[in-house]
Structure 1
Amino acid sequence: MYIKKILLAIVLLGMLGLGIFSYFVYQAVLAPNTKFSSETKEVFIRTDASYQEVINQMKLVVKDLESFDQVAQKKSYPQNIKAGRFILKKGMSNNDMVNTLRSSNQPLAVQFNNQERLEDLAGRIAAQIEADSVSLIKTMADSTFLAENDFKPETALAMYIPNQYEFYWNTSAKEFRDRMLKEYQKFWTDARKQKAEKIGLTPNEVYTLAAIVQKETAKVDERKRVAGVYMNRHKRGIKLDADPTVIYAVKKKNDDFDTIIKRVLYKDLETDSPYNTYKYAGLPPGPITMPDISAIDAVLNYEDHDYYYFVANPEKPGYHKFAKTLRQHNNNRQAYVRWINKMGINR
């Protein structure tokens, strides 16, 4: 009888110990351990990050850092750190979080448009992925890469078709650039190439002209008509006389792309730059901005008409008045000048 009591006590103590052990295992491994109030929390782990860097980030995420560290060590996470963007959910356990950080790198949507230079684009992309702007601009402007793919420094921007693309956050500068080359090649389908050839322009020239159209009008429904004006002038060898190119030339000459110029002055028209289409015939050496796809397609499908001139329409903000003759254009222009003076726009 005495031996039975001893055995029973041992069993009970064993069960109690097992219960305590199970409780602590549950608390460390399976119990919720997040402290953020939102439904999800993004964690970004850079390439070649140390385990200490990860721990420093997790201080902001978990309630009990010590238990998270214990589980991470047990699962050999410090030796298997993965770079990327990871989404942790409210109420996750340490085990769930470690598993997520080990294998669930999530892509994100990268967007860009309206960039005037590669430098601007590099800065825009660097704000969205791990690669920094210095490595991006160096990679995008690489002379060997450009030459191998029929680009020049002046036309390098034309390789980037503005849109929304899916990337992993830990994408390198080279990976980004090479992916965008593939997207460029995908965009320029045989149909688009044939249209470009039919109107006598290369894809890069279409992009360059589309950039001017983009700057001239924000109204998508007017872009084909504006493109038609420039194509009429281009085909006849008439200077394009595009104000946006003058603005770009002034900014480039002054190395100041932050200044906003709303009004082109007569002195600006004398700016000696190949981008100044009031001074030099033909298309500029390259794009003055990054045009939307709608502007590119507007050039490829430009409106066939007899207009050679246009000026902003004060009676219909955002739109323009078009003219077939210089006399008619001058009348339209005088009305615009009166309006802009009345508005007090001097620069």
Structure 2
Amino acid sequence: MRGRTADFGGGRPPGRAWSALGRHRGGVDPRSVPRAASRGTPQCGGCVSVRRADARLALLAAVIAVLIASAWRGTPGVVARALLDDSAPETPTGDKFVRVTIPTGANAAQIVAALDTAGAVSDAGALRVLLRLTGAGSDLQAGRYQFREHASPAEVLRVLRGGPNGVLRLTIREGLRVEEIGVLVVRAGLATPEEWQAAMKKPRPEPFLAQRPPGADLTGYLFPASYDIDGSTTAETLVQAMLDAFAERVTPLATEAQRSNGSLHQALTLASIVERETVWAEERSTVAAVFRNRLRAGIGLQADPTVQFALTQGEQGAASIAASGYWKENLSPDDLLIDSPYNTYILPGLPPGPIANPGMGAIEAALRPATVDYLYFVAAPSCDGRHLFAATLDQHNANVALFRASKCGR
């Protein structure tokens, strides 16, 4: 069964949907579809600043003087490129960020060298000229700065003038694995892969983590949200912020989970499956109800996301990830037979733990499922990530036939 929404509410982009006892192929993997605007790519607060007209005029005048006085040295071409960069639209050069610490007392040459070594600037020569022309090289504050990788000299200068500890908003959307969050953290320049792994393996004292099975990581407990990060943020402080957010938002629901004859860990496990299965927010509680009904009836969940997760575990995990990513789109009959405690096609009940980090909507749906008698669902022929639900196998098979006759089921 499968489908999918997302900044961090509301309707999610069309996604792939799967059915219990009636799988299908086709559709679009929701993780590959752009999210709503609120889940846009992280924006660097220090990367955009208001332009000052008088400063531009002064810079242009200085450049003209330098062009006349320094033409024989080849400087004009460098300055011209810098000016072009400064007047060009501020389009991102990539989604990876680097951090550079400027020590106290560093001169312009040392600053440029540090930026060039870190890969923060696309043209070190042009940056040197800009620092000399503007006099900014002797007026910069020491501290940690964050830059887009290979940023233009003009963009680097704007960040430097803004001072250290510029704020970046990092958005962690629902349904990601800890490894996928790690990729975002590394791209944002917050940590190396090794530092992220160290943060994942660090023992944690939070009481709500005690119910995890031995050896379990933090999957399910890193709360999806938008986090403000600055020059002092590390992998460790970000992980702690995510756990703190979980404690504030989710742990108050522990009593409700117990009233549902389960634990918070079990609720998170179900919520993570619901998160990976649903595209539209209004379907979450219905999908959760299908799984609850199947659990009560002793019927296997038969949820494809659990098999996708199982394929990435154990000895075959690395090879599977390299070949198909963290969420393999087209599962084969052999995949459905994988020997894993996470394979809900061959084992009854819930898997040992969450397969992703669910958002608040999926968690609430798992705890408060809709009051329906459905046992099955399959992607709707509308091909927009919605589902058709059924209480009987005959009705479900009829729904499967509708899907297979649709443009996305062929």
TM-score between the two structures when normalised by the length of structure 2: 0.61
After superposition, give the CA deviation of every residue in 1:52-79 in whole Å (9 maximum; x if it has no partner).
552334755464545777963xx7x6xx
1:300 correspondence with 2:367: yes
1:281 correspondence with 2:348: yes
CA distance in 2, matches of 1:187, 1:242: 27
Q: How big is the shift at 1:325?
A: 2.2
Q: How big is the shift at 1:185?
A: 0.9
3-state secondary structure, aligned to 1:311: strand
Letter matched to residue 262 of structure 2? L
3-state secondary structure, aligned to 1:122: helix
Aligned CA distance change for structure 1 residues 61 and 298 (closer, same or farther; 3 Å) = farther
CA distance in 1, matches of 2:179, 2:238: 15
After superposition, give the CA deviation of every residue in 1:125-182 in whole Å (9 maximum; x if it has no partner).
111143222201221122x227874245435121211111111144122212222221
Q: Do the aligned partners of 1:129 and 1:169 also contact (CA within 8 Å) in 2?
A: no
Q: Do the aligned partners of 1:114 and 1:290 also contact (CA within 8 Å) in 2?
A: yes
Q: How big is the shift at 1:122?
A: 0.9
Report the counterpart of residue 225 of structure 2 in structure 1.
163
Aligned CA distance change for structure 1 residues 316 and 121 (closer, same or farther; 3 Å) = closer
Q: Which protein, 1 or 2, shows the higher relative CO under an 8 Å CA cutoff with sep ≥ 6?
A: 2
Aligned CA distance change for structure 1 residues 115 and 213 (closer, same or farther; 3 Å) = closer
Report the counterpart of residue 336 of structure 2 in structure 1.
269
Aligned CA distance change for structure 1 residues 208 and 110 (closer, same or farther; 3 Å) = same
Report the counterpart of residue 17 of structure 1 in structure 2.
none
**Equivalent residue in structure 2 for 1:179, among 241, 252, 262:** 241
3-state secondary structure, aligned to 2:169: strand
Letter matched to residue 221 of structure 1? E
**Equivalent residue in structure 1 for 2:296, among 235, 241, 262:** 235
Aligned CA distance change for structure 1 residues 110 and 164 (closer, same or farther; 3 Å) = same
Aligned CA distance change for structure 1 residues 173 and 262 (closer, same or farther; 3 Å) = closer
3-state secondary structure, aligned to 2:385: coil
After superposition, give the CA deviation of every residue in 1:73-111 in whole Å (9 maximum; x if it has no partner).
xx7x6xx72113389xx99xx9x997743xx52211011
Task: Give me the identity figure in percent.
Answer: 27
**Equivalent residue in structure 1 for 2:111, among 36, 54, 57:** 54
Could you tell which deviates more after superposition, 47-56 or 278-287?
A: 47-56
Letter matched to residue 113 of structure 1? R
Rg: which structure is higher? 1
CA distance in 2, matches of 1:197, 1:340: 44
Q: Do the aligned partners of 1:86 and 1:106 also contact (CA within 8 Å) in 2?
A: no
3-state secondary structure, aligned to 2:220: helix
Report the counterpart of residue 173 of structure 2 in structure 1.
113
**Equivalent residue in structure 2 for 1:194, among 255, 258, 263:** 255
Q: Do the aligned partners of 1:155 and 1:287 also contact (CA within 8 Å) in 2?
A: no
Aligned CA distance change for structure 1 residues 60 and 107 (closer, same or farther; 3 Å) = farther
Structure 1: which 5+ residue stretches go unaligned? 1-30
3-state secondary structure, aligned to 1:83: strand
How many matched pairs?
Answer: 302
Letter matched to residue 145 of structure 1? R
CA distance in 1, matches of 2:307, 2:402: 22
CA distance in 2, matches of 1:342, 1:98: 53
Q: Do the aligned partners of 1:128 and 1:169 also contact (CA within 8 Å) in 2?
A: no
Q: In angstroms, what is the RMSD of aligned CA positions?
A: 3.9
After superposition, give the CA deviation of every residue in 1:215-262 in whole Å (9 maximum; x if it has no partner).
222121111100111112223443212122123223436322351644
CA distance in 2, matches of 1:141, 1:280: 29
CA distance in 2, matches of 1:272, 1:265: 14
**Equivalent residue in structure 1 for 2:305, among 233, 244, 249:** 244
Aligned CA distance change for structure 1 residues 53 and 176 (closer, same or farther; 3 Å) = farther
Aligned CA distance change for structure 1 residues 202 and 155 (closer, same or farther; 3 Å) = farther
Aligned CA distance change for structure 1 residues 317 and 45 (closer, same or farther; 3 Å) = closer
3-state secondary structure, aligned to 1:158: coil
After superposition, give the CA deviation of every residue in 1:21-55 in whole Å (9 maximum; x if it has no partner).
xxxxxxxxxx6589533698999652476845523
Aligned CA distance change for structure 1 residues 332 and 126 (closer, same or farther; 3 Å) = same
1:1-347 to 2 correspondences below 5 Å: 36-37=86-87, 45-47=99-101, 51=106, 54-56=111-113, 57=115, 60-61=126-127, 63-66=129-132, 72=138, 81-85=142-146, 100-101=162-163, 104-113=164-173, 116-142=176-202, 144-145=203-204, 149-150=209-210, 151=212, 153-188=215-250, 190=252, 192-252=253-313, 254-255=316-317, 256-257=320-321, 259=324, 261-315=328-382, 317-337=384-404, 343=410
3-state secondary structure, aligned to 2:389: strand
TM-score between the two structures when normalised by the length of structure 1: 0.71
Q: How big is the shift at 1:117?
A: 3.1
Structure 2: which 5+ residue stretches go unaligned? 1-57, 63-81, 116-123
